[in-house]
Structure 1
């Protein structure tokens, strides 16, 4: 329990002059902030050996009302160094709450950083997101499109179309969403309308505009696609001569029941309960929902395609040699690591996973040949900005429709890599793999099916998955329309979808080997499906001169006792 009477930081300066007290800054850097950050869910460096914490920049955020003394927060940019690897930068807003005052705000324990005395005033240094005054200042600056000059650059508050004109005046209340994630979430309530806006404060910073802000603002400001939380504004740190740094983004709140992953799990319950009775049952409404999500996905891609020709961030691009080499190099490195992981962990896998792993490893030459096809095959389809981390967990269920969220991109990729244009089929592959996970996890992880042979469960799950996959693809392509510049023809659609499905399943394989060995069969079966399709392409091509052996499908049969 934190002792609020303890004063771990004492300064003769007032809080507003914190930056001038070098001893206080050093105490924060060396003694106070390191242990605090290591308790925060959003701090990604906990598993690395840290060598230093340094306050690199400090920005002022004046509060809206009250006496000038001590009435401001600081946006602190912390640089964290490690014994190995690159440094990281984090955003930590700080405010000072004086104790014993009539209007002293109540601060949640997780927001208290240290007890402190500034200019003989006793109080708490806190993460300012837990201070109502700071949250109010953020909202005020956003609705008024303020520009706050700083010692280094300026803080610019951009207002978006999603922020209603009527919400520019009047008092708002706010709270911190009690969720642990890589960012912080603030919610603002407008009088008479309830909770209306959601502000995501980015904690780990990059010297570039966040891709989520680019995508959400583009879709809100320059398209008619309404199935996202509308862009309401952003907070950007601007410096002359260097890329902008995105500190936060505000969007409209969306009422929702749950995400599409949970809804799909609910839809699978009836199917699951029928399996032990050797019944196969899918309600018609399940297909209706899959078709609708496919339609919304296609509409999102059509909106991202319709950029102005001179808009370099969003205008479509061809499949260049550089792009192909980027994908190939990333995939080949990924593939090599996954082969090694399978070899090292083979004995930990269950019999079904072991058989799938054997076929995967025996098919290495066939996969290599397929990758060479991607390098050399003429492709006339186009690439655009896409969601980048698309799966059922990124789709909210709102009554009878869907809202797509979280456009930050792949968490393990750099910001520059997240902005690379891909075929929208990469998003489609993410959705398809997510459906495969949903049915596999439900059947292999439920008590109701615990006594059923894994091979039988595999066959049943595949039947469900293929029906759902085909339903999704048919509705997606019908919405895109044919012909469409995004996709040259059905042959290129099938080829590119296999590329992204294979990459996605191989990526998933590493996570399951490391964290959920019982689930390794799920990505392995996804890989197997792609390999089978690759072989069909080889067999159907009379011009192909290849002496590679056929797939060793006999390895998938269980050994007879």
Structure 2
């Protein structure tokens, strides 16, 4: 607890919701230091000009008390303000013995400050540590309650993942500090309270609700419900979501690392060993990925219109220009980074970087081709940040998690529809990282020639990639509206693979220079395939040079 001077006001806690001077005093005295101590507050590094409580929502508690859900605005010298959700409850000293939990169980990070309200002394806490608040929140979702507020309405929506008879379950706050807050109920449900708020619904909630309630897709933590703040003259704002908890041993990144251990130990013996069950797991994940995308493909039918937010769309000119502009900006930044950091790279990475930079005209021609090439495949909502770490390995299957989308994209951009092949590209790149990180960063392979290690890594990766991709495409059958034909599949997959690998390049240059060869190798693989398309189409541009693979030769 950060405050030493208690606040004293005449207002009682039950009447504080409409007491603007109280919230103004709180936002100027107690809240700035408290909020800056919270892991979920993203504005610590920015120069702040102040906080203000913009909206106060009232949530009745089971014992007749209330908690408040504050919408707190953080202002800065530069940039737009940010809004955060801060639930608050008041624990009066004289009633502490009647609480269904012990005050000692409230951690220091949950204690906001001492206050005196209508001559009652007590402690303000983050309400997630108040068992009454957690019960009230979950019960409101279970009952699909509607709570009118002075500024809009709190809508509690119950999803199909919430089972009958589960209204009152024991609850606890998960100790993990992150950008959101997490609570569990009966160790069966997981409630995520979003702290940083956006002026529209959260894409994760939209996706999980659609897949559970509309498409009945079983391989995600089922949607249990949501908390949405509705207003008359603005988009709805998501405050929280409930999902079923999933028992799992590890995520698929860790599982793949385990499978790679056998492969790793065989490499120094010049043996190429992949267990058969590795292929089985990869095939299964390919099928589950395809089933997820089939579930997201919901064209409108007579008397059954699809929510426009999920209706399939064609490859419009606007979409192509959006993707091209984003990619060209990304390319320019990555070329500049490579030039500035070229001498810091190892010899193998330098050779790959040189080939990448020499292929600039070929990439530009490929982008121009994407701008004008007829494309009849369709776009839908997708996972958006799909990789091995987003897939939980259960005993015999997989569960896909975390549908928030690309972390560095805006909420609006995360809702843009893409070809499902963008997700496929993300998983393919993840497999490439898995094998490359394992082979190039293990003591077992330190003494091996880097070029030999690269060839061995490539063989594993290509086998796994093709296994995943074949299993994925088998789910759809042919033809399917999402994919016109194999030619378009190959072309679009290269678009997204190239974008993903170029994106990865920036992170590795900045933070892990020894890993730069991984995205660079991915880029070179894509450029090789671009060259094949260029030759098979018979429309090669004479002044554009072929890929300079001779630059990769060391002997």
| TM-score interval (norm. to shorter) | over 0.9
198, 206, 214: which is aligned to 1:222?
Answer: 214
Q: What's 2:166 paired with?
A: 167
Q: What's 2:61 paired with?
A: 63
Contact in 2 for aligned 1:9/1:24 (Cα 8 Å): no
Q: What's 2:464 paired with?
A: 468
Deviation at 1:23, TM superposition (A): 4.9
Deviation at 1:25, TM superposition (A): 2.5
Contact in 1 for aligned 2:17/2:57 (Cα 8 Å): no
* Aligned residue pair count: 546
Q: What's 1:192 paired with?
A: none
After the TM superposition, which of the residue ranges 543-552 and 514-523 deviates more from structure 2? Answer: 543-552
| Structure 1: runs of 5 or more not aligned | 190-194
Q: Deviations along 1:423-444, whole A, 9 cap, x unmatched?
A: 0000000110111111111112
The 5 A counterparts of 1:38-187 are: 38-65=36-63, 68=64, 71-99=65-93, 101-104=96-99, 105=102, 106-168=105-167, 171-187=168-184
Answering whether residue 548 of structure 2 is matched by residue 556 of structure 1, we say no
Answering whether residue 500 of structure 2 is matched by residue 504 of structure 1, we say yes
Deviation at 1:92, TM superposition (A): 1.0
CA RMSD of aligned residues (A): 1.7
Equivalent-residue separation in structure 1 for 2:346 and 2:122 (angstroms) = 58
SS at match of 2:459: helix
The 5 A counterparts of 1:448-527 are: 448-527=444-523
Answering whether residue 271 of structure 2 is matched by residue 292 of structure 1, we say no
Contact in 1 for aligned 2:182/2:192 (Cα 8 Å): yes
Contact in 2 for aligned 1:10/1:24 (Cα 8 Å): no
Deviation at 1:480, TM superposition (A): 1.4
Q: What's 2:438 paired with?
A: 442
Contact in 1 for aligned 2:86/2:126 (Cα 8 Å): yes
TM-score, normalisation: structure 2: 0.95
Q: What's 1:252 paired with?
A: 244
Contact in 1 for aligned 2:2/2:112 (Cα 8 Å): no
173, 184, 188: which is aligned to 2:185?
Answer: 188
Q: What's 1:411 paired with?
A: 407
Deviation at 1:22, TM superposition (A): 4.7
Contact in 1 for aligned 2:2/2:113 (Cα 8 Å): no
Q: What's 2:205 paired with?
A: 213
Q: What's 2:267 paired with?
A: 275
TM-score, normalisation: structure 1: 0.94
Q: Deviations along 1:280-339, whole A, 9 cap, x unmatched?
A: 111000000000000000001001102435321111111010110010011111111111
Q: Deviations along 1:503-547, whole A, 9 cap, x unmatched?
A: 111111111111111111111111111111111111222233432
Deviation at 1:470, TM superposition (A): 0.4
| Structure 2: runs of 5 or more not aligned | none
After the TM superposition, which of the residue ranges 343-352 and 499-508 deviates more from structure 2? Answer: 343-352
4, 8, 12: which is aligned to 1:14?
Answer: 12
Distance 1:462 1:47, change over 3 A: farther
Deviation at 1:7, TM superposition (A): 4.5
Contact in 2 for aligned 1:11/1:119 (Cα 8 Å): yes
